[in-house]
Amino acid sequence: MNISFNRTITKTAVSIITGSSKGENIFRIYAAALYAYLAYCLLQWPITALDTDLWYHLNSGRYIFENWSIPKDSYFSFIQPPREWVDYYWLFQALVFKIHSLFDYYGLVFLRAFIFFALITFIIKFLLKGYDGARHYWLIAIVFSFFLLLFLPRYHLIRPHMLSYLFVAAFLYILEFKPKKRILLPFLAVLWTNIHGVMYPIMILILLSYLAEIFFNHIRRKVHITPKDFTAIVPLIVSICAVYLTPHGWDLTWMPFVPTGFSSLYIIELGHLTLRDLFSFNFNNFVPNHPTVFNILLIFVAIAAVAAIRGGTIRLSQSLLLLGGIVLLTKGNRFRYEFVLLSLPVLQSGLKAIPVYADKKAYKVYKEISTFLAVLVLIIPLAGLCDIFRNLPRYPVSYRNLPKGVATFLNKVNVQGTLLNHPNNGGFLQWMLYPRYKIFMDMEVPFLFTNDDMFIAVNIFRNESFLQKTIDRYNPAFITVSIKDQLFKEIIKKFPQYRAVFFDDYEVLYANRELNPSIVSAYELKSLDPFRLAQSAIQSVSSINADPIREELLKVIAVYPDNGIANQYLAILYNLEGRYEKAIEHADNIIANYPESPTGYILKGDSLQNIKMYDKAIDSYKQAIKRQDAAEIHRKIGMVYFKKNMFHEAYKTLVGASDPYSPFTTYRDLYYLIYSAIKINKKREAEILFGYANQSVPATDQEWLKRYQELGAVLGQKIPQ
Query: With contact defined as beta carbons under 8 Å apart, do 428 and 447 qualify?
Result: no
Q: What is the pLDDT of residue 281?
A: 86
For the stretch 119-156, pLDDT in tens is 999 999 999 887 654 456 777 888 888 999 999 999 99
The yes-or-no verdict on residue 377 having pLDDT over 80 is: no
Task: With beta carbons less than 8 A apart as the criterion, state whether 400 and 393 touch.
Answer: yes
Confidence of residue 358 (pLDDT cuts 50, 70, 90): very low
Q: Which amino acid is present at 181?
A: K
Lowest mean pLDDT of 158-167, 276-285, 374-383, name the range: 374-383
Please give the full DSSP string across 461-496, using - where no structure is assigned. TT-HHHHHHHHHHH--SEEEEETT-HHHHHHGGG-T
Question: Is 113 within 8 Å of 42 (Cβ atoms)?
Answer: yes
pLDDT of residue 691: 86
- Tens of pLDDT along 632-679? 999 999 999 999 999 999 999 999 888 888 888 888 999 999 999 999
Backbone angles phi, psi at 283, to 5 degrees: -125, 145
DSSP string over 321-334: HHHHHHHHHTT-GG
Give the separation between CA 414 and CA 406, rounded to whole angstroms. 14
CA-to-CA dists, residue 162 to 86, 159, 166, 416, angstroms? 20, 6, 7, 36
Q: Is the pLDDT of residue 387 over 60?
A: yes
Architecture per CATH, 557-629? Alpha Horseshoe (1.25)
More confidently predicted of 568 and 26: 568
Give, in degrees to the nearest 5, the angle at Cα 180 between 178 and 182: 80
Question: Quick one: pLDDT at residue 374?
Answer: 64
Is the pLDDT at 279 greater than 70, yes or no?
A: yes
The pLDDT of residue 17 is above 50: no
Return the pLDDT at 370. Answer: 63
Distances (CA, A) of 620 to 591, 600, 628, 634, 687: 11, 9, 13, 12, 33
Contact 315, 220 (CB under 8 A): no
Q: Is the pLDDT score of 7 beyond 70?
A: no
Between strands 478-482 and 437-439, the pairing is: unpaired
Q: What is the reported pLDDT for 9?
A: 39
- Give the pLDDT confidence of 75-119 residue by residue, as tens digits: 999 999 999 999 999 999 999 999 999 999 999 999 999 999 999
- What confidence tens digit (pLDDT) does each residue in 37-83 have? 889 989 999 999 999 999 999 999 999 999 999 999 999 999 999 99
Q: What does the domain layout of the chain look like in residue ranges?
A: 404-534, 557-629, 639-721
Give counts: helices (H), strands (E), the chain.
32, 7
Does the pTM surpass 0.85? The reply is yes
Q: What is the pLDDT of residue 257?
A: 86
Higher pLDDT, 267 or 433: 433
> Which residues neighbour 516 within 8 Å (Cβ) at sequence distance 6 or greater?
413, 415, 417, 477, 478
Q: Between β-strands 437-439 and 417-420, what pairing exists: parallel, antiparallel or unpaired?
A: parallel
Residues 190-246: tens digit of each pLDDT: 999 999 999 999 999 999 999 999 999 888 888 777 777 788 899 999 999 999 999
Give the tens place of pLDDT for each residue, 483-498: 999 999 999 999 999 9
pLDDT value of residue 3: 45
What residues form DSSP beta bridges with 574? Answer: none
Mean per-residue pLDDT of the chain: 89
Q: What is the largest CA-CA distance in the chain?
A: 107
Collapse the DSSP code of 157 into the 3-class scheme (helix H, G, I; strand E, B; otherwise coil) and give the result: coil
In eight-state DSSP terms, residue 573 is H
Please state, for a pLDDT cut of 90, what percent of the chain lies above it: 66
pLDDT reading at 16 higher than 60: no
